[in-house]
Amino acid sequence: MELNRLGDDVKNQAGAEMAVVVVNSTDGVDSHDFATRLYNAWGIANRGFLVFVALADHKAEIVLGDGAFDETARQESQIVMNVEMTPRFRTGDPAGAVLEGARECARRILGVQTVQPAPEAELPPSPALAHPFVETGSSDRWIAWTWILGALAIAIGFTVKFWPVPCPKCREKMTLLGEAEEDAHLAEAEQLEERLDSVDYKVWVCPACGELKKDASIRWFSGYRSCPQCSVRALKTSSWKVEEASYDHAGLVQIDEDCASCSYHNSYTRTTSQLVRNDARDDSSSSIAASAAFLSSSSSSSSDSSNSGFSGGSSSGGGASGSW
């Protein structure tokens, strides 16, 4: 999948992280505030970015981590939003808007060089999908887009998985090992990442000379991050409410980080947003918005570990906003 390859490029070339999130709606919550809180709740690296889209709200955000943010980066992100993203949304190309937005953020802000696939012959747009933002039947068209993109991703993944790989030594076609066979060639930590589904490993063997080739694909939304102590992608974050937020004060949440590969443990707290009265919303909408607000960026750590680096970062909200 193109976004997965881009994520690998961002990690390998810039030592950074990227995330792409597409939702239907933020249920009345300001999209930039929503995306910033999501960035901090997930702990995307300080040197990273989040591309966030709320389809039904016709809103898009680019949130930059504190380690990647300066005035130049903010200006570049707004250029990406204005030139690459919003025009594509307006012409009914949401997939292209998301992909090109992420790709240009990686290139302009992090200096990542990506290889784009050769353009295919242009086909006339399908009448049913030519204008997915028209009010009448727009939800049906979005469902159609979802099915098409999902089927395309499955087809691409199947092709990549079984496409013959030439041996780097003798150029013979290598054979992809099955899940049971590949474990013999994976380290204990790599087998753990496979069991946690945080990293997917593929092992190829050459039947002619016995050469081995091992590929690793990070599962970006597995819920696991790289451990700052052992570097294995086995760090799990859990949270529980210490104090509920109310209309008078903010809430308090404790965050626990534990690694399934080593003894690393870290606990810290973050505040959640104070509830805000809004007569324009009914009670059910306010409840949904409050539960969707995620965690605020303020935190205090009970250990000496830092939130900077490859994982566990934060954002002050720098970036770009767009609508269509």
The pLDDT of residue 139 is 44
Please give the tally of structural domains in the chain.
Answer: 3
Q: Give Rg (Cα) of the chain.
A: 22
Residues 275, 198, single domain; the answer is: no
Residues 287, 187, single domain; the answer is: no
Q: List, for residues 279-294, the tens digit of each pLDDT value.
A: 433 443 333 333 333 3
Residues 152, 288, single domain; the answer is: no
pLDDT range class, residue 307, cuts 50, 70, 90: very low
The pLDDT of residue 292 is 34
Residues 45, 157, single domain; the answer is: yes
Asked whether residue 188 is assigned to any structural domain, the reply reads: yes
Residues 7, 65, single domain; the answer is: yes
- The pTM assigned to this predicted structure is 0.45
The pLDDT of residue 66 is 87
Residues 36, 142, single domain; the answer is: yes
Asked whether residue 324 is assigned to any structural domain, the reply reads: no
On the CB side of 246, CA atoms within 13 Å amount to 5
Per the DSSP assignment, residues forming a β-bridge with 22 are 53
Q: List, for residues 163-178, the tens digit of each pLDDT value.
A: 668 898 998 999 999 8
Residues 171, 256, single domain; the answer is: no
Q: List, for residues 222-278, the tens digit of each pLDDT value.
A: 788 899 999 999 999 888 888 887 878 878 888 889 999 999 999 988 777 667 665
Asked whether residue 124 is assigned to any structural domain, the reply reads: no
Residues 141, 35, single domain; the answer is: yes
pLDDT more than 70, % of the chain: 71
Chain centroid to Cα 78, Å, comes to 19
7 three-state secondary structure: helix
Question: What mean pLDDT is predicted for residues 289-305?
Answer: 32
User: Residue 175 sits in which domain range?
Assistant: 165-222
pLDDT range class, residue 203, cuts 50, 70, 90: very high
Q: What is the CATH number of the domain that holds 22?
A: 3.10.310.50
Q: List, for residues 93-116, the tens digit of each pLDDT value.
A: 898 999 999 999 999 999 998 755
| 77 C-beta neighbours (distance < 10 Å), count | 28
Asked whether residue 130 is assigned to any structural domain, the reply reads: no
Question: What mean pLDDT is predicted for residues 155-165?
Answer: 55
| Average pLDDT of the residues of the chain | 76
d(CA 139, CA 52): 19
| Phi, psi of 196, rounded to the nearest 5 degrees | -80, -10
Which residue matches tokens 């949130």?
A: 63
Asked whether residue 129 is assigned to any structural domain, the reply reads: no
Q: List, for residues 38-64, the tens digit of each pLDDT value.
A: 888 888 888 899 999 998 889 999 999
